[in-house]
Chain A
Amino acid sequence: MENSAEMQRFIEFTADSYLNITLQQEQQKAMVSEMVGKLTSVCWDKCITSTPGSKFSSGETTCLTNCAQRFLDMSVIIAKRFEMQ
């Protein structure tokens, strides 16, 4: 078959793209995990001031949620601040 060389190239191209896409996906997942980990650390220090009990108080839960979301807001503001220059 004269198409076999072309077929081979197609297969290699497909495998290559597959690897690239899955690598990108894994990279994104790793970035998300890292961010969740970092934010948990920061917000834990801010919100959990007493020794940990058997259950979070509603205040602690709210604090953790607000802390994470405000951190995101802040990141946006800082990014914009540097875009302006």
Chain B
Amino acid sequence: MDSFSSSSGSPPNTEALMDQIKAQLAQAYAQEFLETVGNKCFAKCVTKPGSSLSGSESSCISRCVDRYIEATGIVSRALFSSTR
């Protein structure tokens, strides 16, 4: 591969482009995930918004985020496990 990249600029450019695309996809995915988790956990934990987040609301939110990540893993395994 090295002998190719020295004789032509294409392969390194291609790889840089792919890295850029991957990074952008990852960022978009993270952004969407954060938004979804925020919506779900706000609905579950902050049922009556007060003048500030209470301690129980905060701990509910952190548990909720952990559970949502776990749920993502469960769903992903359910879809791709060989035991279907």
Chain A residues in the interface with B (C-beta under 8 A) = 7-8, 11-12, 14-16, 18-19, 22-23, 26, 29-30, 33, 35-37, 39-41, 43-45, 48, 51-54, 56, 61, 64-69, 72
Task: Point out the residue from B8, B18, B71, B75 that lies within 8 Å of A8, measured CB to CB.
Answer: B8
Taking a contact as CB atoms under 8 Å apart, the answer to whether A68 and B45 are in contact is no
Chain B residues in the interface with A (C-beta under 8 A) = 4, 7-8, 10-11, 13-14, 17-18, 21-22, 25, 29, 32-33, 36, 40-41, 44-45, 60, 63-64, 66-68, 70-72, 74-79, 84
Taking a contact as CB atoms under 8 Å apart, the answer to whether A22 and B18 are in contact is yes
A37 to B63, CA, bound (A): 19
Which residues of A are found within 8 Å of B7, using beta-carbon distances? 7-8, 11
Contacts A26-B25, A36-B72, A56-B67 given; indicate if A68 touches B78 (C-beta within 8 A): yes
State the majority secondary structure of interface residues on A: helix
Nearest chain A residue, comparing its CB with the CB of B36:
A41
Taking a contact as CB atoms under 8 Å apart, the answer to whether B74 and A61 are in contact is yes
Task: Point out the residue from B45, B67, B74 that lies within 8 Å of A65, measured CB to CB.
Answer: B74
- Chain B min CB distance to A70 (Å): 10
Taking a contact as CB atoms under 8 Å apart, the answer to whether B75 and A43 are in contact is yes
Taking a contact as CB atoms under 8 Å apart, the answer to whether A40 and B78 are in contact is no
Which residues of A are found within 8 Å of B10, using beta-carbon distances? 11-12, 15-16
Most chain A beta carbons < 10 A, residue from B18, B21, B25, B74: B74
